[in-house]
Amino acid sequence: MRIAFYTVVLVSLFLSGCNSEPSLQKYFVESSEKKDFISVDVSPSIINMDKTKLTAEQKTALESFDKMNILAFKLDDKNKAQFEAESQKVTQILKGKDYQELMKFGSGKDAASVSFVGDMDHINEFVFYAKKKENGFAVIRILGDDMNPNNIMNMISLLKDSKLDMEQLKPLQGLIK
């Protein structure tokens, strides 16, 4: 009887300690199977470059990058109400205490933002969120260890200069048309 009591107490403490707030990770998992969403996970191997030709800063940036998750909602005439509801969910999640907004562009129906999780020298997640009233929206999570804004700028430079492995981005082709 005593063991059962302690087990119940431990389980209830564990469950009450779980974070019930919405998170971007939960949102990605829940939305990735829905029909109007396109979900893609991208590994660092997308960057096809001769790593011996990279600068020390570029190597550091590449080493800090673990993976990228992309979730896109493709807007059409039939899902405008869902688009509004889903984009509002993302906006509310990004207003949460874990996310710090770094930049914001535009307003209203066409907007973009850059947020992060962590502090400026030890960022674990960068989030790019963009929505356009004609197309839909996309959320890009860049996950890594001890990233900083300089690492992200170097990663963007690497992405522009490399021969990207387009096979990883194939699911997004229908969205870009």
**Predicted structure pTM score:** 0.77
Residue with tokens 């990735």: 32
Residue that wins the pLDDT comparison between 109 and 113: 113
Phi first, then psi, for residue 96 (nearest 5°) are -65, 165
Residue that wins the pLDDT comparison between 22 and 132: 132
Q: In the structure, what pLDDT confidence band is assigned to residue 150 with cuts at 50, 70 and 90? A: confident
Q: Are 129 and 90 in contact (CB under 8 A)?
A: yes
pLDDT at 6: 37
Residue with tokens 């869902």: 82
Distance CA 58, CA 53 (A): 10
Q: In the structure, what pLDDT confidence band is assigned to residue 172 with cuts at 50, 70 and 90? A: low
Taking only Cα atoms into account, the Rg of the chain, rounded to an integer number of angstroms, comes to 19
Please, what is the average pLDDT of the chain?
80
pLDDT at 52: 82
Q: What is the pLDDT of residues 118-135, one digit of tens each?
A: 888 888 899 999 999 888
Residue that wins the pLDDT comparison between 134 and 156: 134
Helix (H, G, I), strand (E, B) or coil at 141: strand
pLDDT at 167: 67
Q: Is the pLDDT of residue 25 over 70?
A: yes
pLDDT at 62: 83
DSSP letter (8 states) at residue 2:
H
What number is the average pLDDT over the span 122-151? 89
Q: In the structure, what pLDDT confidence band is assigned to residue 87 with cuts at 50, 70 and 90? A: very high
Residue with tokens 């493709």: 74
